[in-house]
Amino acid sequence: MLRLRFNEDGLIPVIAQDYRTGEVRMFAWANEEAIKKTLETGFAHYYSRSRKQIWKKGETSGETQRVREVRVDCDEDVLIYVVDQEKNRACHTGERNCFFRTIKGDKVSKPLPFEALQRLEEILKERIEKKPDGSYTAKIVSQGKDRVLQKLGEESVEALIALKNGKAGDIRAETADLLYFLVLSLILSDVEVTEVLEELIRRMK
């Protein structure tokens, strides 16, 4: 382990970042023992300054964090736990992450661009499962996988035409439609968006 720079209380700040979506899930503190427990068990451990003890995230709620990697900043005084959030609700309030408000106190209403495909995947899975009234996703899925694939083909052609014509607004709109049907098709094929992105990463030189 690198020679981490703990503060005068023997603590170091830790940011939990979601492996799948990239979003920041939470912030907490850790001491050396908590970090060692994290590395040994593969689950996120932190140090509570109020209780003055080490705690495992999700030990009582079941909302554990499986740690894929621990990253260190350039000054070696801040850590990132790259995590899989087990039940998708990291905050004790029930929110998906602890940073759900703006500086004005308004609730954050939309994900950041880098989260978009995985968050879309979550929404589509929920629509398929719950089949809410008026849901286009539930309706087209009920028509069968072949119908969804047909729409994917149609949107591919429309995106190509938009790219050929070179109008930025049309390109954005048609590409968004294409991505929607691509993600929906992946879900019906039991392939995660993250798996596709991992394959893309493997091809990077």
Tens-place pLDDT, residues 134-163: 999 999 999 999 999 999 999 999 999 999
pLDDT at 1: 72
Which pLDDT score, from 0 to 100, does residue 198 have?
Answer: 97
Q: Which residue is listed with tokens 């294409």?
A: 178
Give the amino acid at 96: R
Q: How confident is the model at residue 205 (pLDDT cuts 50, 70, 90)?
A: confident
Can you tell me the distance from the alpha carbon of 96 to that of 75, in angstroms, rounded to the nearest whole number? 29
- Provide the pLDDT for residue 149: 98
For 52-102, how does the pLDDT look when each residue is reduced to its tens digit (9 = 90+)? 999 999 999 999 999 999 999 999 999 999 999 999 999 999 999 999 999
What does the alpha-carbon distance between residue 82 and residue 54 come to, in Å, rounded to a whole number?
Answer: 19
Span 154-176, average pLDDT: 98
> What average pLDDT score do residues 160-179 get?
98
What phi and psi, each to the nearest 5 degrees, are found at residue 75? -90, 0
Q: How many CB atoms lie within 10 A of CB 69?
A: 10
Q: Which residues pair with 65 in a beta bridge?
A: 85
Domains and CATH numbers, the chain: 1-109 (3.10.20.810), 113-202 (1.10.287.1080)
Residue 20 has phi, psi (to 5 degrees) of -80, -45
Region 171-193: what's the mean pLDDT?
A: 98
Indicate whether 2 pLDDT > 90: no
Range 175-186 average pLDDT: 98
What is the reported pLDDT for 115?
Answer: 97
- In the chain, the amino acid numbered 175 is T
Tokens of 130: 């719950």
pLDDT at 3 over 90: yes
pLDDT, tens digit (0-9, with 9 covering 90-100), for 13-66: 999 999 999 999 999 999 999 999 999 999 999 999 999 999 999 999 999 999
The DSSP secondary-structure symbol of 86 reads S
